[in-house]
Amino acid sequence: MSAEGLLLLLSGFLLSPLLQGVINRTKAVFAGRKGSPLLQQYRDMAKLLRKGAVFSTTTTGIFRIAPSAVLVLVAAAYTLLAPSTVESGWGFPGDLILFVYCLGLARFLTVTAALDTGSSFEGMGASREVLYSALAEPALIIGLAVLARVSGEMSFSGVFHGLGDSEWLSAGTALAIVVVSFLIVMLAENSRIPFDDPNTHLELTMVHEVMVLDCSGPDFALITYGASLKLWLFASLMVNLAISPLGLSGYAQVAGFLGGMLFAGILVGTIESVTARLSLLKTPGLLTGAGALAVLAFILAARYLQ
């Protein structure tokens, strides 16, 4: 693997907690607060790793294994995606699907672990999570399908290398719409506003946070890290797509990517500051909208190649 690729790969593993920091800082700025330091996430995780753990008497082995497995799965998904923009040979045809299904299994385990505690709050979160996933997955797949259609490839590297100026010239609208639907999917998958408020303290309204109420110590560290990696991963999917028309390569690509990520963080922060959280009954509509957008994009892209 080339240095750039390695760089991209490591960037995520190292910087993903930072993205959280960026978002929080942006929100603080909007709110006129000083806000927590950018590296807060790292500190929290370090603290958690040093702690002991409390396990509910209701839980079984599933609850103990889940956090590790989830992190591994997210990491795997990320590994499939990250270097693909600079490594033309990276990945394999169909890795898009493996990517989606790794995240799916991660979700499966998170939900199962949540139900393992037998707490009604975590059950509540779980039931919302599965609804969102059921709607987000088609949107994601259709979006990827559009990319595959336009680029004529079915692997991340193929897609990102296949999307040049000509594609953007002919199918630009479609791709732009895909970017938007990916943004919505990202917000939903990482339970950000307007789908969920990560730093609310009302269990009744939470989605992701409430599922991990009973996790503590190292497990919780793994979970928080996994969460931020997942956010990074979706953001990078969106960013890679968004910067593909620039036709960058090598270190320029890396730089552009990191810049994009910073922008993405600020974007998310802005959204969270300027929009209110949707009521739980309305959120499915938004996700369905994302799917609809993806389909629209496909219809636009279908003319391509004709």
Partner 1 sequence: MVISLLIASLSLFLAGSFLLLFLPGKYRAVRVIGPATTLSGSVSGIIASVFSFISGPVESTGFALSTPSGSFALGIDFLSALFAIPVLVISSLCAIYGIGYLKPFEESGKDTARFWSFFNLLSGSMLLVTVSRNALLFLLGWEVMAVSSFFLVMFEAGKESVRKAGWTYLVATHLGTACLLVLFSMLSSGGSMNFSDLALPDGTAFGAGVAFVLAMTGFGAKAGFVPLHVWLPEAHPSAPSNVSAVMSGVMIKTGIYGILRFLLFLGFPPAWWGWVILLTGILSGIAGVLFALAQHDIKRLLAYSSVENIGIIAIGLGLGFLGVSYRIPAMAYLGFVGAILHTLNHSVFKSLLFMGAGSVVRETGCKQLDRLGGLMKRMPSTGISFLTGSAAISGFPPLNGFISELIIYLAAFSGLTAGTGASSSAALAGLLAAGSLALTGGLALACFTRAFGIVFLGEPRSSCAENARETAGSMRFSMWFLSAACIVLGLAGPVLLEFLWPAAGFLCHGFGYYPEGVSSPLFKNTLEMVTLVSASLILGTAVLFRAKTILLSRRRVTAAPTWDCGYSSPVPSMQYTASSFAEPVIRLFGKSLGTRQSFREPGGLFPGKSSFSSETPDMYREKLYRPVFERMERLFSSLRMIQHGRVNLYILYIVAALFSLLVWKLG
Closest approach of partner 1 to the CB of residue 53, in Å: 5
Which x/- pattern, by CB under 8 A, does the window 186-225 give for partner 1? -----------------x---------xx--xxx--x---
Residue among 87, 95, 167, 196 that touches partner 1 (CB under 8 A)? 95
Q: Is 245 helix (H, G, I), strand (E, B) or coil?
A: helix
Closest to partner 1 by CB, 35 or 284 = 284
Peptide bond into 17 cis (omega under 30): no
Q: Is 212 helix (H, G, I), strand (E, B) or coil?
A: coil
In angstroms, rounded to a whole number, what is the distance separating the alpha carbons of residues 86 and 159?
A: 12
Residues 6+ apart with CB under 8 A from 120: none
Closest to partner 1 by CB, 23 or 102 = 102
Residue among 27, 149, 192, 230 that touches partner 1 (CB under 8 A)? 149
Residue among 15, 105, 176, 266 that touches partner 1 (CB under 8 A)? 105
Residue among 32, 34, 52, 279 that touches partner 1 (CB under 8 A)? 52
Q: What Rg do the C-alpha atoms of the chain give, in angstroms?
A: 19
Tokens of 31: 């709110």
Residue among 32, 34, 274, 306 that touches partner 1 (CB under 8 A)? 306
Residue keyed to tokens 């990250």: 82
Q: Is 64 helix (H, G, I), strand (E, B) or coil?
A: helix
Stretch near partner 1 under the rule CB under 8 A, chosen from 5-13, 14-22, 55-63, 175-183: 55-63
Closest to partner 1 by CB, 123 or 172 = 123
Which residues from 251-290 bind partner 1, rule CB under 8 A?
280-281, 284
Closest approach of partner 1 to the CB of residue 41, in Å: 19
In angstroms, rounded to a whole number, what is the distance separating the alpha carbons of residues 299 and 280?
A: 30
Closest to partner 1 by CB, 24 or 133 = 133
Q: Is 169 helix (H, G, I), strand (E, B) or coil?
A: helix
In angstroms, rounded to a whole number, what is the distance separating the alpha carbons of residues 28 and 31?
A: 5
* Identity of residue 285: G
Closest approach of partner 1 to the CB of residue 222, in Å: 7
Residue among 101, 205, 248, 273 that touches partner 1 (CB under 8 A)? 101
In angstroms, rounded to a whole number, what is the distance separating the alpha carbons of residues 16 and 233?
A: 8
Residue among 68, 200, 249, 270 that touches partner 1 (CB under 8 A)? 68
Q: Residue 236, Cβ neighbours under 10 Å: how many?
A: 25
Closest approach of partner 1 to the CB of residue 113, in Å: 9
Residue keyed to tokens 């599922």: 211
Residue 300 touching partner 1 (CB under 8 A): no
* Identity of residue 36: S
